[in-house]
Amino acid sequence: MKATLTNLKLQFKNPAGTSRGVMQIKNSWILKISDGNNFGIGEISILEGLSPDFQDRDSFERKMEKFCAILEKDGVNFDSESEIHLFLETHPSIKFGLETALLDLENGGKGVIFKNNFATGTRKLPINGLIWMGSEDFMREQIEQKLSEGFTTLKMKVGAADFEIEYKLLESIRARYSANEITLRVDANGAFSPQEAPEILEKLAKLKIHSIEQPIKPGNWAAMKELCASTPTPIALDEELIGVFDITEKIDLLDTISPQFIILKPSLHGGISGSKEWIKLAEERKISWWMTSALESNIGLNAICQFTAEYANELPQGLGTGSLYVNNTASDLVVESGFIYKT
C-alpha cells in the first residue's frame, strides 16, 4: 500500500469572519491511498485554533508523514492496540481523510464513498445558507443573496461584531418572513459569557430563532447544562464535542449537559466512525443532530454529503460551503434553491 500527501491551499473569495478571527486561507491535505491497481483519495482538513490535532504546520506535516510511514509498513490495521489505531484516535482530521480514502478505494476510486441515493444523484439534501460576519452592509448583502437563491434556512455568525447590529439584521428578516417561511439559526462560536448568555437567548427567542450554536466557550459543562435546561432558544453543541474521543466521556457530556442539538464535523469529531458514535448516542437520548462541513474542499464535502445521506435526517445541513473558494477542486456537487445534490 502506498500513501502520498498533497497540500491544498484554499483561498477564500471573501475574508471569512468568525468570533475567533478572520480567515483568508484554509489549508487541507489530499491523502491518496494506492493498492497498486487503484487508488482512493480523502481530505485531511484542519482549522487553525480549533482542530485538536493541529498545533502548527511543521509539526502537523511531520505527524502526517509518520502516519503515512506506519500505514505503508503495517497496512490498514485497526486492532485496538495497533499503532495506527492509537494514533488515529486523537487525530480526527487524519482519521477522516484515511476513512474516506479507503472507502473511495473500496468502491472503485470514483468518488463514491457510500453507495446510497445521494451518490447516485437521486437524493437532495436540504442545507442552510451561511451568512459570514463582516460589516452591516456586507452581512445584509449576503442575506439578500441567499434569500434570492431560494434558501429557506439561514445561519448567521454572531458575537464578533456588535450584537445589536446583528440582532437588527435578524429582526429585519423576521419582519419580512415568519418562522414558517424562513428558519433562522445563529452560530456564536462561544462568543458570549455565561453571565450575558441568558439575556441573549431571551432576545433571540422573540425572533423565533431555531437554534444557537455554542453560545458560551466549551469546557464549562455546569454553565452549559444550566443554559440548556432553561433556554427559550434551543442550544446546539459544536466546539463542546471537540477533543472528546472516549465513549464514556461522550456519554458523560451528553447526559450532563442534555443539549437540544449536537452538530457534527467529521474532521473535528472523530472522523466517520467517531461521528457515527456521536449520532448513535445522541439518538438514544432523543437529541437531534445535523452535519456541517469544517470548510473542506469539494473532496471532503462530497464525502460528508454521502455520509449524511446514510441517515434519514431531514434537518437542513451545514453543507453549502463549496462556493467559498476561488480555487476549489472540480466537483459534480450542485447547490440550488437551498439543496445540495450530485449531477
- At residue 251's C-alpha, the angle toward residues 249 and 256, to 5°, is 95
No. of H helices and E strands in the chain? 10, 13
Active-site residue (options: 157, 217, 250, 342): 157
DSSP 8-state symbol, 315: S
Annotation marks residue 157 as catalytic: yes
| Dihedral sign, Cα of residue 259, residue 264, residue 267, residue 273 | positive
CA 71/CA 66 separation, integer angstroms = 9
| Beta carbons within 10 angstroms of residue 32's beta carbon | 17
CA 263/CA 271 separation, integer angstroms = 13
Write the single-letter amino acid at 205. Answer: A
Q: Which three cell numbers stand for residue 118?
A: 445521494
Active-site residue (options: 124, 155, 217, 265): 265
Three-state SS for 109? coil
Write the single-letter amino acid at 309. Answer: A
CA 197/CA 232 separation, integer angstroms = 11
Catalytic sites, residue numbers: 157, 265
